[in-house]
Amino acid sequence: MEVITHKCPNCGGPLTFEPSDQQFHCPYCLSIFTEEEVTAFEEQQKARLPKDETTTAGSASGVASDSEATSGPGGETSATTDDGQTGEATMELYLCPSCGAEIVTDATTAATYCYYCHNPVVLQGRLSGKFLPDKVLPFAVTKDEAVSKFLDWSQKKWFVPRDFFNEAQVEKLTGVYFPYWNVNAEAEGGLNGTGTSIRIWIVGDIEYTETKQYSVRRAGRFKFRDLVKNALSKNTQQKMVESVQPFQLERAVTFKDQYLSGFQAEKRDIEYESLEADVEKELKGYATTLLRNTVGSFSTFVPNSSHLEMRDQQKEYLMLPVWLVTYKADDASKKTFYYAMNGQTGKVAGILPISYKKLGLVSAGIFAVLAGIFLGVAYLL
């Protein structure tokens, strides 16, 4: 597996992707490059290498191939196979191509930082072959904007612990590309049921009720677009991350790992085959609802049967941007709270911790004010 840092064509410094202008910046010589310029430069560099040096460049840079065992912390090893499955140990070790320091990752990490020199690194083998994403949606919200939105959102909430806003906590805000499956499908379906129409009228002192029943059939062709499903099993806060949807997928571009530079990234470990039954069930539910909405204004409608036949189903493996921060409560529970922001639209989601000390002080203050009012009223009486 090749561990790389995308280098500046001018000075060799590490390039990072800048969401504000969608270009690549060098922090040393302040040069700015487009994706096309970075790709062209790297292709030229590869072309200049002798063929045998190209094939062994990975080993020279402290790189492990997909089929060899890599040493983990404490001497543990984890054998990574071509299909991305690992043994019992989930942590793996690589060497930074810039400073040679050890980089420890888990089995799904595809991009991260060197802890020592802070250079961004991409583990190319994690996102190649059948794990190569089809598209990536680049970050559009900068970290400064994300921090500002995070503080605006959280400071409006009452009873949040003070240390939730401190600099160390805000610095934990991290941009992560998460893996998703995106599904487009075409289908034909139908719905059969019984519609009942009830009409009531009064003539003089007599009330009349007319009941009519109809056999109702509806059929249609459907096109479903952009059904996005999580593709990472360790994303335990899946509901929270899903709550920052929708993403503007029309802005996604063909995947290039240069876009990962400066961010963290995770590769998928959920295959589409394990989701397919749930996807079809979800699409059938959407189709049934659409057909049900065409039934008309019956007093009641009871569906008897429905069916949906998939005609065409296309899936894409996407990398989508999310700003993420965690907070561990400073109390006996040590509960971890998560905050997420759509890295493309800025939509936020999360659950904030509660400072019971603040809550107690406010409650005591309210009680004291109310007690004072009641005592004053009692004195007047």
Instruction: Express each pLDDT in 34-80 by its tens digit.
Output: 999 999 999 998 888 776 554 433 333 333 333 333 333 333 334 34
Of all residues in the chain, the percent with pLDDT exceeding 70 is: 73
Cβ–Cβ under 8 Å, residues 323 and 179 = no
pLDDT, residue 371, reads: 58
Compute the C-alpha angle 188/190/191, nearest 5°.
155
Cβ–Cβ under 8 Å, residues 133 and 317 = yes
pLDDT greater than 60 at residue 3: yes
pLDDT greater than 70 at residue 182: yes
Nearest to 177 by CA among 31, 361, 317: 317
Cβ–Cβ under 8 Å, residues 267 and 156 = no
pLDDT, residue 316, reads: 95
pLDDT, residue 240, reads: 67
30: confidence class by pLDDT, cuts 50, 70, 90: very high
pLDDT, residue 28, reads: 93
Encode pLDDT of 201-248 as tens digits.
999 899 999 999 999 999 999 999 999 999 998 765 566 677 888 999
Nearest to 322 by CA among 208, 213, 246, 216: 246
pLDDT, residue 330, reads: 65
3-class secondary structure for the chain? Answer: CCEECCECCCCCCECEEECCCCEEECCCCCCEECHHHHHHHHHHHHHHCCHHHHHHHHHHCCCCCCCCEEECHHHCEEECCCCCCCCCCCEEEEECCCCCCEEEEECCEEEEECCCCCCEEEEHHHHCHHHCCCEECCCCCCHHHHHHHHHHHHHCCCCCCHHHHCHHHHCCCEEEEEEEEEEEEEEEEEEEEEEEEEEEEEECCEEEEEEEEEEEEEEEEEEEEEEEEECCCCCCCHHHHHCCCCCCHHHCEECCHHHHCCCEEECCCCCHHHCHHHHHHHHHHHHHHHHHCCCCCCCEEEEEEEEEEEEEEEEEEEEEEEEEEEEECCCCCCCEEEEEEECCCCCEEECCCCCHHHHHHHHHHHHHHHHHHHHHHHHHC
pLDDT greater than 70 at residue 338: yes
Is the pTM for the entire model greater than 0.95? no
Residues in the chain, how many? 381
